[in-house]
Structure 1
Amino acid sequence: MATLLDFCSLVRSKNAGPFILTFDFMCHDQTAYEALVATGFLTKGLFASVYGTDPDQILVVNHPGALAVKVSLPRPTVQGDLHDTDCYAGQQYAPLMDMELPPAP
């Protein structure tokens, strides 16, 4: 089975303001981008289950021209809150990295 690093040269998470968490999945090339999208791995359901968010509040956008997929969702805690363990959201992608992706159809 493949992981995100088999498709992506860059996987990152960051803040998009104090209330929104965003992920960028930038693929190696056109073939990798098409294969990643074809797996159907990066879904609202995945992010809802991993980050405890309502799927209706998650935005998944494919950017074929940039060979990238962007996912945005509400931050679990507001940036800078007393209970915020990752103020810059730079480590939020970590739970996704070891997950095995299904094969593309």
Structure 2
Amino acid sequence: MTTMLKDVCRHIRSKNAGPYWVTFDLFFDGPENFAKYHDHPALGPDLFHRLFGADPALVQRFPVPGLEMIKISYARTSAQGGVVERDMHCGQQFVRLLDVALD
């Protein structure tokens, strides 16, 4: 059985982080899963390049052990509110992460 990101997180959200950045908050469902998956290679820059077209060199990861969560941010490929904007506040971007396989 494959473990998906949605199986080890109690909450996953995405949001606008200013006009040039998008950020994701991954709240793991306990210290065991945080320890096991917070630095998992499947959640690396290549994933954000593949799913969102992000420049892998501009993907940043910030672990927050006290909250058992990580924040992953990347630079937008175009500024917020541009002609091609489909989700100005990035509130729906997290959906693409739910089925990311971790095993």
Same fold (TM over 0.5): yes
1:39-81 Cα shifts (integer Å, max 9, x gaps): 4321112112221122111101221111001111112332111
TM-score normalised according to structure 1 size: 0.87
Deviations 1:4-50 (A, max 9, x none): 12111110110010110000000111012112226432111211222
* Secondary structure in 1 matching 2:42: coil
Indicate the residue corresponding to 1:16 in structure 2: 17
Q: Percent identity?
A: 32
2:22·2:73 contact (CA, 8 Å) conserved in 1? yes
CA distance in 1, matches of 2:39, 2:48: 17
TM-score, structure 2 length as denominator?
0.89
> Is the contact made by 1:58 and 1:72 (CA closer than 8 Å) also made in structure 2?
yes
Partner AA of 1:88 in structure 2: H
Structure 1 residues without counterparts, runs of 5 or longer = none
Structure 1 moving runs of 4+ over 4 Å: none
Cα RMSD after superposing both structures: 1.4
Residue 52 of structure 1 corresponds to: 53
For 2:37 and 2:85, the matched residues in 1 are separated by 31
Aligned pair count reads: 102
The question of 1:101 aligning with 2:75 is answered no
